[in-house]
């Protein structure tokens, strides 16, 4: 038998990044029986990240149709824990979602099991302008200060998406004294190399002070591993709304239901002048 493989895209222009098939190439294989001169042709898809395509086209794993979105935003206010509060495996306090009794939830979509052996979601803290942040995450599926969850595509049962719930995760702040503590935290963050929005990190060592550590955001990025066991980050990344320090909540920022409750209590107690002074003194 004589076999030939045709890869049209390698002879012409590459597919545009972001298109539905930007991360795979349509190919055809033609098998000819030399004795009977009967030919059979089959079409198939070849991952652009495989060794053959990489050597011929230079396309890398970052070209992907994967997408990631935050289904449940983190709470607007959170008390960031100190390192001593999370020692010995303790969490100190959980990071909740914005809805009542919820947690942060993320969804990964457009998975292609034919091309992707596994999908890893890495989450970490970033500044409001999306620079890597020295605060870190501890809890379930957390390593090196970030949330890391790996999913083998063959475990999805043919599905092309899955959801993640950060049920037992806490955010930990860094001490400002002694002064080198903050610098150590920044250096640890640089060593992780989690930079989903490709920020210039040359000035990060000096960009953080006690005044600009809060608020912050969470960011999540997808990493993929192909069937050659090559792992690389993708352009699929998302960031949350800002998370503020709970200790900085002021009266105008108290959630509306609590304000309504306070006003209702004031109406009931306003007939007792003796209590007015003490009520006004409540911070």
Same domain, 83 and 189: yes
Q: Is the pTM of this model over 0.75?
A: no
Where does the chain have alpha helices with state H? 8-11, 51-57, 180-192, 256-269, 273-280
Same domain, 43 and 173: no
pLDDT string in tens for the chain (283-residue length): 444 444 443 333 334 444 344 455 566 666 656 566 666 666 656 555 454 454 444 445 555 689 999 999 999 999 999 888 888 778 878 999 998 889 999 999 999 998 899 999 999 999 999 999 999 999 999 998 999 999 999 999 989 999 999 999 999 998 877 777 887 888 888 888 789 999 988 888 788 887 889 999 999 999 999 999 999 999 999 999 999 998 765 545 555 566 566 656 655 554 454 444 444 444 4
Same domain, 73 and 116: yes
Quote the domain boundaries for residue 97. 67-248
Same domain, 37 and 158: no
Q: Are strands 38-47 and 24-33 parallel, antiparallel or unpaired?
A: antiparallel
| CA distance from start to end of the chain | 86
Same domain, 100 and 188: yes
Between CA 259 and CA 96, with CA 244 as vertex, the angle to 5 degrees is 80
* pLDDT value, residue 44: 59
Same domain, 173 and 276: no
Total number of domains constituting the chain = 3
Same domain, 80 and 35: no
Same domain, 123 and 199: yes
């Amino acid at each position: 038998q004589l076999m030939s493989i045709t890869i049209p895209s390698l002879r012409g222009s590459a597919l545009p990044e972001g298109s539905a098939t930007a991360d795979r190439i349509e190919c055809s294989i033609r098998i000819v029986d030399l004795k009977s001169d009967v030919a059979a042709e089959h079409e198939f898809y070849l991952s652009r990240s495989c060794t053959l395509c990489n050597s011929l086209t230079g396309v890398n794993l970052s070209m992907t149709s994967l997408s990631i979105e935050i289904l449940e935003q983190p709470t607007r206010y959170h008390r960031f824990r100190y390192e001593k509060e999370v020692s010995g495996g303790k969490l100190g306090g959980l990071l909740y979602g914005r809805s009542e009794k919820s947690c942060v939830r993320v969804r990964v979509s457009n998975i292609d099991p034919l091309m992707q052996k596994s999908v890893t979601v890495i989450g970490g803290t970033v500044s409001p302008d999306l620079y890597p942040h020295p605060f870190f995450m501890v809890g379930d599926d957390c390593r090196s200060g970030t949330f890391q969850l790996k999913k083998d595509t063959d475990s999805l049962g043919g599905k092309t998406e899955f959801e993640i719930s950060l049920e037992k995760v806490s955010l930990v702040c860094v001490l400002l004294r002694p002064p080198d503590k903050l610098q150590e935290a920044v250096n640890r963050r640089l060593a992780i190399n989690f930079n989903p929005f490709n920020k210039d990190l040359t000035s990060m060592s000096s960009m953080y002070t006690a005044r600009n550590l809060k608020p912050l955001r969470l960011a999540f990025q997808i990493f993929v591993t192909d069937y050659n066991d090559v792992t690389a980050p993708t352009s699929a990344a998302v960031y949350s709304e800002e998370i503020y320090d709970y200790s900085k909540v002021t009266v105008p920022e108290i959630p509306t239901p609590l304000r309504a409750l306070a006003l209702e209590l004031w109406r009931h107690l306003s007939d007792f002048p003796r209590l007015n002074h003490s009520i006004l003194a409540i911070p």
